[in-house]
Amino acid sequence: MGRTISEKILAAHSGRQEVQAGEFVEASVDMVLANDITAPIAIREFGRIGVDRVFDPAKVSLVCDHFTPNKDINSAQQCKLVREFARGQDIPNFYDVGRVGIEHALLPEQGLVLPGEVVVGADSHTCTYGALGAFATGMGSTDIAVAMATGRIWMRVPESMLVVIEGELQPWVGGKDLILHTIGDVGVDGALYRAMEFRGSAIESLSMDGRLTMANMAIEAGGKAGMFAVDQTTVDYVKGRTQRPCMVYASDPDAVYVDVKHYRAQDIPLTVSRPHLPSNTAPAAELSSVAIDQAVIGSCTNGRIEDIRVAAELMRGRKVHPYVRCIVIPATQDIYLQSVREGLVEALVEAGAVVSTPTCGPCLGGHMGILAEGEKCVSTTNRNFVGRMGARTSEVYLAGPAVAAASAVLGRIGIPQEL
């Protein structure tokens, strides 16, 4: 019986020839991640374990990205604790203001995650790195403390489900629309504790930015991981970012999947998730009656250079609607700098948008874009739960950068063809 990419990676990291879904394994990890919200909890638990040093400083990444630049005294204290721990443990992969980026955009960009690796993070969107052919998943801060101390994790091998998307994408449709459409079909628990594996000609045509977006949101369907095969696109992305060797794994032709979903790319429109679940989807073109107060383009889902280019292309020479606040957040310093060099920031600012330093900020209702009572926002972020971006009566509509940019100009949910 064949094995999936997830089973092969977990077997290799458990010292086993093979593992199968449902087994419990003790696996070694290649990278342990935490941020300024989750790291302080992990650090305190680490202190209770009774060890003095992390298992390998080079295999721990600490990223202060959620409430930075610090919005208040409490957030400053959180980052101070993380900063002091990183310094005391000689952790080279510590990222603070000026070097920081949103963690799930930053680690792939810096070559800290490679195909075939096991990555765990104290953040549910750690599944992003499956786009590179790594097995990556989120865990609680206590588990991350143990991983920092031992370099190992204990987990159940997930079942795998296969999502096949064939055909040619419609204009402006990207990875965000594909994953929202999928979540709308399977539901927020349709992939519960499963590794979602994405395949098909439409997937193969996606850039790495689009793949990272899709893998990021596997958790919104309940997924344990979001997996992509390694191909030339992956190799080209990884090349030059690191000299570390990697192992490439691929699912066998006769691998077993608990479920298989087939979609035609040409049938997938620009898609929006309405409040208050990512699965509450509808074609963007059907929501033109929804007036908005704010548009956010950024986050670990859609703050990459491809997303900023789409927004700038649609907003260049146009103006943000006078009743709309448009906030654009490049996900890393490198993306910000590239946006400046390409003239994207100029186009966005001239249109009336504000361009922020890299931060998670408004995505989790942190800062720099909090919604007031009753306000509506179109956002390229990944969650739209009640109160996610501010007041409990506010509403968040999830979309890709094309819909978010068009909506910012139109003052309502709209699509590029209306501009």
Q: Where do the structural domains in the chain lie, given as residue ranges? A: 5-263, 270-418
Per-residue pLDDT of the chain (419 residues; tens, 9 = 90+): 799 999 999 999 999 999 999 999 999 999 999 999 999 999 999 999 989 999 999 999 999 999 999 999 999 999 999 999 999 999 999 999 999 999 999 999 999 999 999 999 999 999 999 999 999 999 999 999 999 999 999 999 999 999 999 999 999 999 999 999 999 999 999 999 999 999 999 999 999 999 999 999 999 999 999 999 999 999 999 998 988 899 999 999 999 999 999 999 999 999 999 999 999 999 999 999 999 999 999 999 999 999 999 999 999 999 999 999 999 999 999 999 999 999 999 999 999 999 999 999 999 999 999 999 999 999 999 999 999 999 999 999 999 999 999 999 999 999 999 99
Give residue 281's pLDDT: 97
Q: Which two tokens stand for residue 57?
A: 């400083």
Give residue 243's pLDDT: 84
C-beta of residue 207 within 8 angstroms of C-beta of residue 170: no
Greatest CA separation for the chain: 61
Residue type, 67: F
What's 5-263's CATH class? alpha beta
Answer whether 5-263 and 270-418 agree in fold. yes
Measuring CA to CA, how many Å separate 323 from each of 255, 352, 391? 53, 11, 19
Give residue 142's pLDDT: 93
Would you list the DSSP string of 363-402?
Answer: GGT-SSS-B-TT-EEEESSS---TTTTBSTT-EEEE--HH
Give residue 50's pLDDT: 87
Give residue 240's pLDDT: 83
27 forms beta bridges with 153
DSSP element (H, E) containing 62: strand 60-63
C-beta of residue 257 within 8 angstroms of C-beta of residue 197: yes
C-beta of residue 151 within 8 angstroms of C-beta of residue 59: yes
d(C-alpha 187, C-alpha 322), whole Å: 36
C-beta of residue 370 within 8 angstroms of C-beta of residue 394: no
Domain 270-418 has CATH 3.30.499.10: yes
C-beta of residue 189 within 8 angstroms of C-beta of residue 221: yes
pLDDT digits (tens, 9 = 90+) for 282-333: 999 999 999 999 999 999 999 999 999 999 999 999 999 999 999 999 999 9
